[in-house]
Amino acid sequence: MIFRRLLVLLLLSGLAAPAFAQGKRAAKAASLDDTMLAAHAAFRAGDAVKLARASAGMEQHVLAPYLEYWRLKLRLEDMPQADIQSFLQSQAGSYVADRLRADWLKVLGKRSQWQAFERELGPLVTDDLDIRCYSWIARLERGDTSAFEEARVIWSEPKELPEGCATLAGRKVEAGEAGPDVVWQRLRLLLENGQMGAARRAFTHLPAGEAPDERLLSQASTTPQKFLAHPPGALERRAVREMVLLAFARLARSDPQAAAEALRGKAGARLSDADRRYLWGRIGFEASRRLQSEGLAWFKQAGDTGMSDEQLAWKARAALRAADWQAVRDAIDPMSALARQDPTWSYWYGRALGAQGNVEGARAYFTRISGQPNFYGLLAAEELGYVPTPPQPFHVASAAEVTAAARNPGLARALELYRLGLRTEGTREWFFTIRAMDDSQLLATAELARRHDIHDRVINTADRTSVTHNFKYRYLAPYRDIFREQARAFDIEEAWVLGLVRQESRFIVNAKSSAGAQGLMQLMPATARWVASRIGLNYSPARVVEVDTNVVLGTRYLKMVLDELGHPVLASAAYNAGPGRARRWRDSKPLEGAIYAESIPFNETRDYVKRVMANTVFYAHLYGGNPVPLKDRMGIIPARAPTDRFNENLP
C-alpha cells in the first residue's frame, strides 16, 4: 500500500513538473515584457535613472540595442564620443544605429564640428531636412558655394525651418544669395499658410527698415475685409503693399467672392497688373477648393502668372468639373516635371487629348501608366481597352526563404516590438529593414508577417514588389467569413467592404485613429452607439473593437449611407468625411464619378475614395466577386437639387 501511494505521488509530481516549469517560464516572460515596457516608458519620460534601473540584466534581450540607444539618446549631448562610436560600430546597418547617427549629426552640426559631421554623414540612410541643411553648411565651410544653389529648396518649405536650415537661410542672406525678393516670396508662402510665428522670424532677413509694421500685419491677417475697405497709402513701399496682398489672400481663404469683389474695387485698382494676376490665382485657388463654379474664371484672370503645383492642380480640377478640356491641359502644362509624372495628371491629360480628338496622343499618355496597380493605372488600362486583372502567378515563398526572413535581426526586433504593443517603433524598424529587399525577400517577409497575424505589414510589404508579386498578400482578406456573412446580411458587395476596410485599418483589430475611430472599420464611438441603437444590438464602448461587433456595426452603417446617397462613390466619401459633405461635393449637373472623386476638397478623403474603389476591383477579381470595370463602378454622380431630401440624423 505504501509503495503504491509512493508510486502515485511520483507520477503526480512527474506530471506537475512540466506544468510548473511552463508556468515559471511564462511568469519570467511576462516579467521581461513588463521590464521592457517600463524601460520604454522611462525613455519617453526622459528619465535616465529609471531607464538604467529597468535595463539592468537585459543585455541578452532581442531589444537590447533599443535599451542602449535610449540610454545614449537621453544624454547624447554629454556622451563620450567613444561610446557613440562603439554603438554605431556594434549595431552597424541597423535601424537604431541610423537613428543615433542622425541624432548625433544634428549635435555635430550645432557644434559646427564639420570634419566629424562629414565623416559620419556618409553611412546615413535617413533623409532629414535639418541634416541636409547642415551638410550644405559643411560644404560652404570648405568653399563649395554650389551648395547655395542646391539649398534653394528650403525657401519653398511652408512652415518653420528646423535649426540647421534657419542657420543656412541666414548664411544665404548674408552672402547676398537671397535678396529681399526671395525673402518676400518665402514670407508670402508662410503668411498664406498661416505660419505667423515663422513669418515674424523670417522678417529678420529683410534689410533694416523694410519689415512691415506690426499693426498693419495684425489688421491684414485678422480683419482683412475691414482692412481692404480702407487700405493704407504708401503702396510704393514693399512692406505696405505686401500687407495689402496678405489681406486679399486671407479674405480669399474665408470668402473668395468677397475677395474678388474687393479686387475689382478701389483696393485692387491701386495694385500693379502683376499683383492683381497673383491675387486672381489665389482667389481662383480658394474658390476651386470650395468647389465654387467661379473658380475657373478667376484662375483664367491670373493669366500666365507663376503658380504652385497645388494651385495648378486645383485649376485642373475646376476645369474638369466645368468639362473645359483645354483648360485642363493649360493647368497641367506648367506643372513641375515631377507633378506631371503623377498618374493623376497623366490620365487626365490623356483624357483631355482624347476629348479634343487627339486619339494617338491620348493613347500615349494612357500607356505610360496603364500597368500601374492603382486608381488611374486601372482607368488608363480600361481606356486602352484592357481588362486589368491581378498579375499571375502568385509567388509563394519557400520554407527556406521564410526561415531566412525569421532570422533577420531587424525583423526579429520588429516582431518583438509589435508583440509588446510598441507599434510605432515596430513599423519604423520594419520599414528600415525591408527598404532594400528584392521581390522574393519581400514576399518571404510578407509571409512571415502573415504567420504572426500582423496584417498591415503583410499588405504594405507585398505592395512594394516591382516584378514578382502575390496579390493575395497585397489584398489580404482575414476574417473573411465574418465579412461575407455581414455583406450578405445587409445586401452590399463584399469586395467593396473589404476594399474599404483595407483602406481604413489594414485589418488591424485594435486600430485607433487620432480622431478616436476604432477597430477594423474605424467606427467613431457616437456612430457605433447610434447604429447599435437602430439595430437593437446590446452595445458597450469596450465591444467596438471586437471583430464581430465592429463588422456588424460598420457594414450596417455603410448600408445605411449607401441607401441614403444611392451611389458607392458617394457612400465611400461619406464613410470617411460624413454624408453632409459627400452631398455638398456634388455639382449642379451630373458628374463623372472619377471627376467627383478627383475634386473632393479634402486630400485624405480624395485619396481614400480612389483607393477604396480601386481596392474593390482587385478584391472582386481575387475572391469571386463581380469583376466590374472601375470606370463602370465610378459611374455618374447625380446632380444636386434644391428638392433633395435627406436623413439629417445620419451621422
H, E, C per residue of 101-163: HHHHHHHHHHCCCHHHHHHHHCCCCCCCHHHHHHHHHHHHHCCCCHHHHHHHHHHHCCCCCCH
pLDDT number for residue 302: 96
Whether the per-residue pLDDT at 595 is higher than 70: the answer is yes
The DSSP string of 212-272 is PPHHHHHHHHH-HHHHHHS--S-TTSHHHHHHHHHHHHHHHHH-HHHHHHHHHSHHHHTS-
Distance CA 544, CA 532 (A): 10
The percent of residues above 70 in pLDDT, for the chain, comes to: 95
Q: Give yes or no for a contact between 194 and 178, defined as CB atoms under 8 angstroms apart.
A: no
Three-class secondary structure of residue 8 per DSSP: helix
Confidence of residue 25 (pLDDT cuts 50, 70, 90): low
The owner of cell 485642363 is 328
pLDDT score at 482:
97
Cα–Cα distance measured from residue 558 to residue 564, given in angstroms and rounded to the nearest whole number: 10
Q: Where are the domains of the chain?
A: 1-57, 399-474, 480-637
pLDDT digits (tens, 9 = 90+) for 546-583: 999 999 999 999 999 999 999 999 999 999 999 999 99
What pLDDT, in 10s, does the model give residues 128-175?
999 999 999 999 999 999 999 999 999 889 999 999 999 999 999 999
- Residue 640 makes CB contacts below 8 A (sequence gap 6+) with 583, 584, 586, 587, 588
- List the catalytic residues: 504
Taking residue 189's Cβ as centre, other Cβ atoms within 10 Å add up to 19
Task: Please give the mean pLDDT across all residues of the chain.
Answer: 93
**CA–CA separation, 594 vs 391, rounded Å?**
24
- Of 396, 394, 397, give the one whose Cα is nearest residue 471: 394
Q: How many CA atoms lie within 13 A of 235 on its CB side?
A: 15
Tell me which of 3.80.10, 1.10.1240, 1.20.120, 2.40.30 is the CATH number of domain 399-474: 1.10.1240
What H or E segment, with its residue span, contains residue 489?
A: helix 480-489
CA angle 131, 134, 138 (to 5 degrees): 135
* pLDDT beyond 50 at 265: yes
Q: Evaluate whether 267 touches 244 at the Cβ level (below 8 Å).
A: yes
User: How far apart are alpha carbons 49 and 64 in whole angstroms?
Assistant: 17
The reported pTM is: 0.92
pLDDT of residue 642: 78
- The alpha carbon dihedral of 513, 507, 39, 84 has a sign of negative
442 with 465: CB under 8 angstroms? yes
Span 480-637 CATH architecture: Orthogonal Bundle (1.10)
Per-residue pLDDT reduced to its tens digit, 614-639: 999 999 999 987 889 999 999 999 99
Q: What is the CA radius of gyration of the chain?
A: 30
- Is 399-474's fold the same as 480-637's? no
Report how far residue 244's alpha carbon sits from residue 223's, in angstroms, rounded to the nearest whole number.
12
Instruction: Give me the pLDDT at residue 5, please.
Output: 56
pLDDT beyond 80 at 540: yes
Name all contacts of 345-348 with Cβ < 8 Å and 24+ positions apart.
345/313, 345/316, 346/376, 346/380, 347/376, 347/379, 347/380, 348/316, 348/320, 348/598
pLDDT for 31: 86
| Rounded distance between C-alpha atoms, residue 79 and residue 586, angstroms | 60
pLDDT at 183 over 80: yes
The answer to whether the beta carbons of residues 536 and 526 sit under 8 Å apart is no
Q: CA 377 to CA 350: how far, in whole Å?
A: 12
Read off the C-alpha cell for 337: 516635371
Phi, psi of 636 (to 5 degrees): -120, 130
Residue 289 is inside which H or E element, if any?
helix 273-289
User: Using the 8-state DSSP alphabet, how is residue 638 labeled?
Assistant: P
**Position 209 confidence tier, pLDDT thresholds 50, 70, 90:** confident
Q: Contact 25/9 with Cβ under 8 angstroms?
A: no
| C-alpha distances out from residue 482 to 477, 498, 550, Å | 10, 11, 10
- DSSP conformational letter for 469: -
Q: Which pLDDT score, from 0 to 100, does residue 26 have?
A: 56
Q: Which helix (H) or strand (E) holds 637?
A: strand 636-637
| pLDDT tens-digit series, residues 497-507 | 999 999 999 99
User: In one letter, which amino acid is 155?
Assistant: W
Q: What is the largest CA-CA distance in the chain?
A: 116
Distance of CA 571 to the CA centre of its chain: 22
